[in-house]
Structure 1
Amino acid sequence: MVLTSNSSAKPAHHQKRRPSGGNNDEHYSNEEWKPGLAARVAAVKILSAVLDKKTSLDGMLDAENGNPAYRALSLPDRALVRAIVNSALRHLPRIEAALAMLLDGPLPQGARSLHHVLVVGAAQMLYLDVPDHSAVDLAVEQAHRDPRNKRFVKLVNAILRRLGREKDSVVQAIGEVPVLPDWFYGRLAKIYGKDAANRMAEAQLVPSVIDVTVKSNPDLWAEKLNGTVMPNGSVRLDAFEGSVSALEGFNDGEWWVQDFSASMPVRLMGDLTGKRVADLCAAPGGKTAQLILAGADVTALDQSGNRLKRLRENLNRLKLEAETVEVNMLKFQPEELFDAVLLDAPCSSTGTLRKHPDVCWTKDKQDIAKLAGLQEQMLRHAVTLVKSGGTIVFSNCSLDPSEGERMVAQVLASDPSLERVPTLASDFPGLEIAINADGDLRTTPDMFGGVDGFYAAVLRKR
């Protein structure tokens, strides 16, 4: 998609006026606005919220409850904002390295707004199909309109124009800079090795693909949807653009969107025919649907009423049924124990950077440690919900062993009622690379042409 900086789309009340909404609109003058300026202002606001306030990007880009400056824009300008912010976050260390090459010294203290204006301008010039002159002109205009940055107008103009002139040499010079924050890249390198860390970092730059799980006959649906059957039975859509809901079979409930890796935990559970199974953190319901199709009698739990409502809507479209319970799983005490439980636990989501590039900028080591503690508590409670001989599958989309391998090992070492059930690579042809030495599932973003990083372990209660 070619993104033009002078989009004819206008926010509410016409684009030449200052857009309504936003926490910092008071910084900008009320003079007439150039076409495209409101989108850049929104991009800077959102980038600032992610980097400085650790705010989730998904929430700010929500069409109904997102950032007011974003919601004031037309649909084409919203798409432009998403492209700018996503590109800025994916390439941020390289963009900052490029700007550092062109600056005589660091930016003045307290110039974070100026930093974000320069990053937004550079992201368009380096990584999007926006004409350099338009990106520069609108960055200069934005600086001019903001009293915090007005004295830096000449600097913004000089730096971005120089970036345009020297783009080829700059791109070459920054090509080896890891595209992840230092804390996260260093953690990956220590855990997986530098080469693997580099592969994972580069993998998050590749546009995210769409995988779907089908009720039956993956080969048929791969043909109908112009897709490819993956080794695990998922169907990957090839070169897809447009609305997923417009594709054949969606309204009929024949398939649902689910990442390759996210579909694996249920596939590890074996024969579930006639078994009572609890999905302990069930929304939005992809794994619940898999459990039902595998023949299980499913109870789906979630502590959020809104998320549980979404799960029910998804199951209705798929023409599937499950008992649903709105409850914090840590407080759940069933009248009868289950044959199996699936705990897809909340985590740092560091395996989902292809879809959510803000994660490594809004999370840190302390978040990982805190979440690992919660996951251990949840796993220990999950064990109490199954019968003797029952199965517990623990999973999440974190790349960090603190939230996966190490946490599970700690629980196994301290609970004699539990044993690991190793997954055999021979049972999953084509997926051998994703089965670790202990027989747990471990995917990383550089596998299988791009997937979420995921961990899953199968345990049995003695």
Structure 2
Amino acid sequence: MSEASLAARAAALDLLRDVLRKSIPFDDAFDAHPDLRGLDPRDRGFVRMLVATVLRRLGQIDELIQGSLSKPGLPKATVHDILRLGTAQLVFLGTPAHAAVDTAVELAAARGAEPYKGLINAVLRRIGREGAELAAKQDAGRLNTPDWLWLAWRQAYGMGRTRGIVEAHLHEAPLDITVKRDPASWAERLEATVLPTGSLRRPPGGSVTELPGFAEGAWWVQDLAASLPAKLFGDLAGKLVYDLCAAPGGKTAQLVAQGAEVVAVDRSAKRLERVRENLGRLDLPAEILASDVATWTPDRPADAVLLDAPCSATGAIRRHPDILRVKTPEDIAKLARAQNRLLAHAVDLVKPGGLLVYCTCSIQPEEGEAQIDRILTRDDRVERVPIEPGELDGMAELINERGEVRSLPGMLPDLGGIDGFFVARLRRLHE
């Protein structure tokens, strides 16, 4: 087995440890890993796919490993993670058995697990023979979903919708793109499909930066669901808009492209650098400001405010399967308290008669519907402005009975699905 193949799997082992043992978000761990820069793009892509597959299929993988051990109980952490990487390759990625097993054994020797080489070899060879057939009989969606999320979704959406959510999580999300203009022409150049809203959709995979139009700033990556909030303000030409919690800047770009004068605010100066880079590439001007959104007080109120509040991102698990492994119920409660404060302050920043759009990429009701219920109960300066079916270009099923957008993974299957998102529109009534 080549040195590069072993190095790739060693990096994957490190990343798995960082996510599962240290609760570090996968993208952060990937960007910080010093050895990944030395791998060629193909091997880096393999590392990302391998670790994402383990995170996405962890419940299934652990059940397969447990069933292949001669004694109950799981081995030490490093050995367990090596078995997870090997199982993912054998059962879900189609890696040849000799490559998956041999590199796993070599990895054990390199990481101080020499006494476990025989165990790793025996378990993975058994999984190589039986794993695919066993996996086909597993309840994949349920096994890969933590109990607390399964129960929360079942209570909020019922069993049918919950099944749709967890089964959507088994598959990598497509690549969605927002173009500045002429979507039909760019769809042809990018070999993409035009979605009802004008977004473009391509299959996942490949290097985004090498696609036509990226370097010249013709488009940016943005999920279909994430593109909806900025469309709900109506005509923004010449209007002042505050984009709160703006990073990484996709909605900022939309607002500027719609003719608004935009102030993009985020507490993270580091994340705002990415906003600057994106807007620079796109040649779209906006004022960018690092400040705590919960206390930021501008000189004048805005015509419109977009609050994309920090959230658990449970609606984006198709794109970020590590969310299944790093988030906890305590995180939801903490985030909901922060969203409460941010939304209350956002009302102060929009002028009477102006619109406030609140959104999160979470499918937890505490981070969506409950926030709107709370603000409407305690603040008589705002009212809900229901979103009408015609505003979503034939995707009316995403609108709930309250006139809010509530998209869930599993919806719009004919289009290739959608991320989970919540969007509500409010109007400021008076001082």
Cα separation, partners in 2 of 1:229 and 1:384, compared to 1, 3 Å: same
CA shift for structure 1 position 71: 4.1
Bigger drift between 162-171 and 388-397 goes to: 162-171
Structure 2 letter corresponding to 1:86: A
Cα separation, partners in 2 of 1:247 and 1:47, compared to 1, 3 Å: closer
Cα separation, partners in 2 of 1:426 and 1:76, compared to 1, 3 Å: closer
CA shift for structure 1 position 243: 3.0
Q: Secondary structure at the match of 2:265?
A: strand
Task: Find 2:48's aligned residue among 58, 79, 82.
Answer: 82
Preserved contact between residue 172 and residue 204 of structure 2 (Cα < 8 Å): no
CA shift for structure 1 position 426: 3.2
Preserved contact between residue 98 and residue 174 of structure 1 (Cα < 8 Å): no
Separation of aligned partners in 2, 1:165 and 1:246? 39
Bigger drift between 339-348 and 278-287 goes to: 278-287
Separation of aligned partners in 2, 1:151 and 1:375? 50
Which has more helix, going by share of residues? 2
Task: Find 2:257's aligned residue among 293, 305, 320.
Answer: 293
Q: Secondary structure at the match of 2:20?
A: helix
Structure 2 letter corresponding to 1:223: E
Structure 2 letter corresponding to 1:461: R
Cα separation, partners in 2 of 1:161 and 1:271, compared to 1, 3 Å: same
Bigger drift between 420-429 and 431-440 goes to: 420-429
Which residue of 2 is the match for residue 368 of structure 1?
332
Structure 1 letter corresponding to 2:100: A
Q: Secondary structure at the match of 1:250?
A: coil
| 1:28-427 equivalences in 2 (<5 Å) | 36-62=5-31, 66-107=32-73, 111-147=76-112, 149-176=113-140, 178=142, 179-237=144-202, 239=203, 242-427=206-391
Q: Identity of counterpart residues, as a percentage?
A: 44
4+ residue segments displaced more than 6 Å: none
Q: Secondary structure at the match of 1:301?
A: strand
Structure 2 letter corresponding to 1:338: A
Separation of aligned partners in 1, 2:226 and 2:11? 33
Task: Find 1:434's aligned residue among 384, 398, 413.
Answer: 398
Structure 2 letter corresponding to 1:246: E
CA shift for structure 1 position 175: 4.4
Cα separation, partners in 2 of 1:233 and 1:45, compared to 1, 3 Å: same
Structure 1 letter corresponding to 2:314: T
Q: Secondary structure at the match of 1:331?
A: coil
Preserved contact between residue 315 and residue 408 of structure 2 (Cα < 8 Å): yes
- TM-score normalised by structure 1 residue count: 0.87
Preserved contact between residue 262 and residue 286 of structure 2 (Cα < 8 Å): yes
CA shift for structure 1 position 216: 2.2
- TM-score normalised by structure 2 residue count: 0.93
Separation of aligned partners in 2, 1:412 and 1:367? 24
- The answer for unaligned runs of 5 or more in structure 1 is 1-5, 9-14, 16-34
- The answer for unaligned runs of 5 or more in structure 2 is none
Structure 2 letter corresponding to 1:37: L
CA shift for structure 1 position 69: 4.3
Preserved contact between residue 136 and residue 157 of structure 1 (Cα < 8 Å): yes
**Cα RMSD (Å):** 1.9
